[in-house]
């Protein structure tokens, strides 16, 4: 330290030993989750890395902003009721944005680390495979929360300020709870599917394209089996990308798009997909030989 | 250490002391596998391992918080700034955010990248990227740093600078270093101890001073003179008359059979007496290269 005048000092400490506290595994998980979130959203990266996440997040919020804006700015019921988003049906406006976002988020989080060797570097820290995956899962699910939780929450808050929200505190808290549970359900399923795809290939593009292809193929396949071949309507559950959004309807007590499928089956399908997807990730990383 | 198709390490019994230790071996010798075992990235299929008194398996998180690892592979994300990369890994290794920030800068200054610390890694030269890898290993103040081929891809000047920093880290801050390299010369230059591996087996281990260095003989390299071609023969004859064993290869002589000091005195006298000219004279040293070849041959 060099004394200049009074209390003013110039610190010239240089490299020295550190004897303070260390945050251990929780701190490592937090740091990797936050850094991964930044990477996914393109924060601190070049402009081209920001384009897709900003676009996807923006698209997810556009309907919310429009509905709240119309409700606040225009008197009376300008839009017919079926064109105004209720909380359960909101995801119907942004399903594509959510699924595409999910298709790209996990590959960004997982694939690069394996390809470059950053995974080995992370595993030379207090993290091990399980805690590393937990950090990545938190980052992927948290980032998905931007598009699954944020927009309906914005609708709720906007409607509340416009006095067109749920009646009473209990009703308001009930809707808030449903919004949170719905967002968690959708994020969990899509996180598991997207992470599973990302754990099976070392190419980000292959993982993303794989997810997108499943999104395109599975609804058609389910429709062909049920509507075309006359199979049981329960075959709808193979459409793993529609089931999370179907579950949202059921959370709000609505029949949804596939009323012939029981709620328990929709819930079970989502649970199975989430557990199976995470199981694939764990299986793949347990088998991975990480030597450096 | 048994992989499905290969046995990477076989019957290895190694003890690594404090200081700077070189881990030497050709590609495929098992250096990286040993490092991976030390870090807990791999579990030994047989036997046990302890690092800093901890078992890398159950004590892995606690142990790895005390180790800084600089991998051989280029693991640097191109679009991240050097400072952000080092800061992030310091946080992952357990430093609070504010401390990680200041130590990231300090570490980058220490390795000579103070002015360059806010540059994206993708714009840095190979030498600068190697320094960043060293800085990230140092930032969280480890007790031990494990560096895998830290001079790979560096030119001679950059290599000297990197080795100087590694020595400084050990001497000034007391951080132990395990340096993996296939460049024996640099290991011999800066390491106090060495572990030599070949095809997964231990070839030699111990203090460099004991394994290499003075072997008790003297090496003399004479100049072949056009006007006096018999001068070298005369030196050899004079030495042999003194009862010194001389192994000649052209103008190079290896003398043995007496103490080093006496061999030096006798050879100087013989050269002076015959009018020969000397290019180089000195105590004979076994290099790490020779140790590697000799001991490797003995093991196999």
Per-residue pLDDT reduced to its tens digit, B195-239: 988 888 888 888 887 777 666 788 899 998 888 888 899 999 999
Ranges A69-73, A278-282, B220-224, B290-294, most confident? A278-282
Q: At A292, is the pLDDT very low, low, confident or very high (cuts 50, 70, 90)?
A: low
Nearest C-alpha of chain A: how many angstroms from B58? 11
Spell out the domain ranges in chain B. 20-210, 214-299
pLDDT, residue B82, reads 93
Structure tokens at B247: 């192994």
Residue A190 domain-assigned (yes or no) = yes
pLDDT, residue A2, reads 41
CATH of domain B20-210: 3.40.50.300
The string of pLDDT tens digits covering residues B54-84 is 998 889 899 999 999 998 877 788 888 999 9
Q: Where are the beta strands (DSSP E) in chain A?
A: 2-5, 8-10
Percentage above 90 pLDDT, chain A: 43
B214-299: CATH topology is Alpha-Beta Plaits (3.30.70)
Interchain proximity A291–B36, CB inside 8 Å: yes
Q: Could you tell me which of A214, A92, A217 has the C-alpha nearest to residue A152? A: A92
**Domain encompassing residue A191:** 23-287
Q: Which residue of A has its CA nearest to B103?
A: A15
Q: Which residues of A touch B200 (CB under 8 A)?
A: none
Please name the residues in contact with B74: beta carbons below 8 A apart, sequence gap of 6 or more: A116, A117, B129
Contact B93, B57 (CB under 8 A): no
Q: Tell which of A26, A121, A134, A289 to mutate to test the B interface (max B CBs under 10 Å).
A: A121
Residue A95 domain-assigned (yes or no) = yes
Contact B74, B136 (CB under 8 A): no
Mean pLDDT of A11-26: 81
pLDDT, residue B258, reads 83
d(CA A239, CA A245): 11
Residue A139 domain-assigned (yes or no) = yes
Residue A192 domain-assigned (yes or no) = yes
Residue A11 domain-assigned (yes or no) = no
Residues 114-173 in B contacting A (C-alpha not used; CB under 8 Å): 138, 140-141, 146, 148, 173
Residue A81, pLDDT above cutoff 60: no
Residue A13 domain-assigned (yes or no) = no
The string of pLDDT tens digits covering residues B113-146 is 888 888 998 899 988 999 999 999 999 999 999 9
pLDDT, residue B7, reads 67
Q: How far is CA B44 from the centre of its chain?
A: 25
pLDDT, residue B96, reads 92
Cβ count near A244 (within 10 Å): 27
pLDDT, residue A3, reads 44
B183 or B252, greater pLDDT: B252
Count of domains for chain A: 1
Residue A34, pLDDT above cutoff 90: yes
* The model scores a pTM over 0.90: no
Contact with chain A for residue B95, Cβ under 8 A: yes
Nearest C-alpha of chain B: how many angstroms from A206? 20
Cβ count near A75 (within 10 Å): 5
Nearest C-alpha of chain B: how many angstroms from A123? 7
Residue A52 domain-assigned (yes or no) = yes
The string of pLDDT tens digits covering residues A208-244 is 888 888 888 998 999 999 998 989 999 999 998 889 9
B237 or B297, greater pLDDT: B237
pLDDT, residue A47, reads 83
Mean pLDDT of A188-201: 91
pLDDT, residue A125, reads 93
Mean pLDDT of B170-189: 89
Location of structure tokens 């290099």: B287
Answer yes or no: same fold for B20-210 and B214-299: no
Q: At B295, is the pLDDT very low, low, confident or very high (cuts 50, 70, 90)?
A: low
Q: Mean of the per-residue pLDDT values for chain B?
A: 86
Structure tokens at A268: 């079970």
Considering only CB atoms, A291 lies closest to which of B32, B79, B80, namely B32
Residue A198 domain-assigned (yes or no) = yes
Interchain proximity A24–B79, CB inside 8 Å: no
d(CA B141, CA B95): 9
């Amino acid at each position: 330290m060099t004394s200049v005048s009074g209390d003013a000092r110039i610190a010239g400490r240089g490299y020295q030993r550190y004897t303070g506290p260390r945050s251990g595994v929780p701190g490592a998980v937090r740091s990797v989750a936050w850094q991964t979130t930044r990477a996914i959203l393109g924060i601190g990266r070049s402009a081209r890395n920001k384009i897709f996440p900003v676009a996807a997040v923006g698209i997810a919020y556009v309907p919310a902003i429009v509905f709240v804006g119309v409700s606040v700015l225009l008197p009376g019921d300008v839009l017919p009721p079926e064109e105004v988003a209720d909380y359960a049906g909101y995801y119907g406006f942004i399903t594509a944005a959510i699924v595409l976002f999910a298709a790209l988020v996990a590959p960004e989080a997982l694939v690069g680390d394996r390809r470059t060797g950053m995974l080995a570097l992370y595993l030379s820290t207090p993290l091990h495979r399980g805690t590393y995956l937990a950090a990545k899962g938190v980052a992927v699910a948290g980032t998905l929360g931007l598009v699954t939780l944020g927009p309906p929450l914005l609708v709720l808050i906007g409607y509340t300020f416009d006095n067109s929200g749920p009646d009473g505190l209990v009703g308001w808290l009930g809707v808030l709870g449903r919004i949170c549970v719905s967002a968690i359900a959708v994020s969990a399923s899509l996180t598991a599917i997207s992470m599973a795809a990302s754990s099976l290939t070392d190419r980000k593009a292959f993982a993303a394209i794989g997810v997108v292809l499943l999104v395109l193929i599975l609804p058609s396949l389910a429709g062909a089996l049920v509507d075309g071949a006359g199979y049981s309507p329960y075959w709808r559950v193979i459409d793993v990308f529609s089931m999370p959004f179907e579950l949202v309807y059921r959370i709000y007590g609505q029949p949804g798009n596939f009323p012939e499928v029981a709620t328990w089956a929709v819930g079970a399908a989502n649970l199975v997909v989430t557990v199976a997807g995470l199981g694939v990730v764990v299986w793949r990383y347990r088998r991975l030989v990480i030597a450096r | 250490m048994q992989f499905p198709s290969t046995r990477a390490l076989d019957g290895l019994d190694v003890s690594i002391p404090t200081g700077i230790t070189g881990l030497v071996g050709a590609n495929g010798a098992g250096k990286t596998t040993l490092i991976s075992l030390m870090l807990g990235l791999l579990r030994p299929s047989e036997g046990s391992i302890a690092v800093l008194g901890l078992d890398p398996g159950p004590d892995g998180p606690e142990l790895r918080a005390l180790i800084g690892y600089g991998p051989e592979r280029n693991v640097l994300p191109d679009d991240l700034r050097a400072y952000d990369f080092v800061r992030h890994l310091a946080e992952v290794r357990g430093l609070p955010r504010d401390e990680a920030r200041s130590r990231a800068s300090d570490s980058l200054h220490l390795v000579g990248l103070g002015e360059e610390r806010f540059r994206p890694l993708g714009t840095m030269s190979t030498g600068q990227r190697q320094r960043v890898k060293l800085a990230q290993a140092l930032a969280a103040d480890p007790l031990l740093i494990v560096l895998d081929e830290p001079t790979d891809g560096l030119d001679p000047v950059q290599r000297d600078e990197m080795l100087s920093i590694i020595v400084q880290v050990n001497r000034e801050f007391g951080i132990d270093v395990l340096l993996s390299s296939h460049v024996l010369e640099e290991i011999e230059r800066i390491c106090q101890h060495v572990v030599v591996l070949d095809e997964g087996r231990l070839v030699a281990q111990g203090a460099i001073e004991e394994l290499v260095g003075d072997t008790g003989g003297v090496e003399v390299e004479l100049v072949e003179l056009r006007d006096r071609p018999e001068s070298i023969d005369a030196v050899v004859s004079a030495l042999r008359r003194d009862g010194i064993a001389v192994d000649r290869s052209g103008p190079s002589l290896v003398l043995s059979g007496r103490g080093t000091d006496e061999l030096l005195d006798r050879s100087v006298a013989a050269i002076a007496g015959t009018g020969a000219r000397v290019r180089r004279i000195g105590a004979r040293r076994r290099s790490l290269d020779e140790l590697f070849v000799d001991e490797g041959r003995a093991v196999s």
